[in-house]
């Protein structure tokens, strides 16, 4: 039996290609945060947030499009910063590599990803930051 018999189709509010109302910046932030949390597992609590500082599409010398993305990963404690960076930057490099690979698949083009880590101890008390995590 077909579903058409049971309901009426309503108007399409978004293009068929659109599967979220988040911006590309927000999606990039979530991809990077996901990789950080997966790789850090229990070492760093979920007290991280990611902010895209810059996201520009440009053409390289071969006229291929690529995104330049600069992000900052914020954590709540100085001790967490060291864990996120890892010995000689190895953990931050792993986070960046896995995130870049996912971003390239998502955006359909090469990505030049630069990441930094900063401490923001009281970020959970700032409404403008916490709003990013609330579902509408």
Whether the predicted pLDDT of 110 surpasses 50: yes
pLDDT at 116: 95
Neighbouring C-beta atoms of residue 134, cutoff 10 Å: 7
pLDDT at 2: 55
Confidence of residue 124 (pLDDT cuts 50, 70, 90): low
Confidence of residue 129 (pLDDT cuts 50, 70, 90): low
Whether the predicted pLDDT of 133 surpasses 60: no
Please give the Cα distance from 96 to 79 (Å, whole number): 20
Nearest to 25 by CA among 58, 60, 57: 57
Q: What is the token pair recorded at 78?
A: 């100085």
In percent, the amount of the chain with pLDDT more than 70 equals 74
* Beta-bridge partner residues of 110: 66
Task: Tell me what the mean pLDDT of segment 15-20 comes to.
Answer: 58
Q: Considering the entire predicted model, what is its pTM?
A: 0.76
Whether the predicted pLDDT of 58 surpasses 90: yes
3-state SS, residue 41: coil
pLDDT tens-digit map of 63-80: 889 999 999 999 888 889
pLDDT tens-digit map of 24-34: 898 999 999 99
Please give the Cα distance from 136 to 121 (Å, whole number): 26
Let me know: does 27 contact 18? Beta carbons within 8 Å.
no
């Amino acid at each position: 039996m077909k579903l058409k018999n049971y309901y009426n189709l309503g108007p399409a509010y978004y293009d068929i290609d659109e599967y979220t109302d988040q911006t590309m910046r927000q999606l990039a932030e979530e991809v990077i945060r996901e990789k950080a949390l997966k790789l850090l597992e229990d070492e760093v609590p979920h007290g991280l947030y990611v902010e895209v500082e810059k996201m520009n599409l440009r053409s390289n010398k071969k006229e291929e499009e690529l995104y330049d993305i600069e992000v900052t990963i914020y954590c709540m404690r100085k001790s967490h910063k060291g864990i996120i960076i890892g010995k000689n930057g190895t953990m931050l490099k792993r986070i960046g590599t896995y995130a870049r690979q996912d971003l390239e698949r998502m955006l359909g083009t090469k990505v030049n990803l630069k990441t930094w880590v900063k401490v923001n101890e009281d970020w959970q008390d700032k409404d403008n930051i916490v709003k990013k995590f609330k579902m509408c």
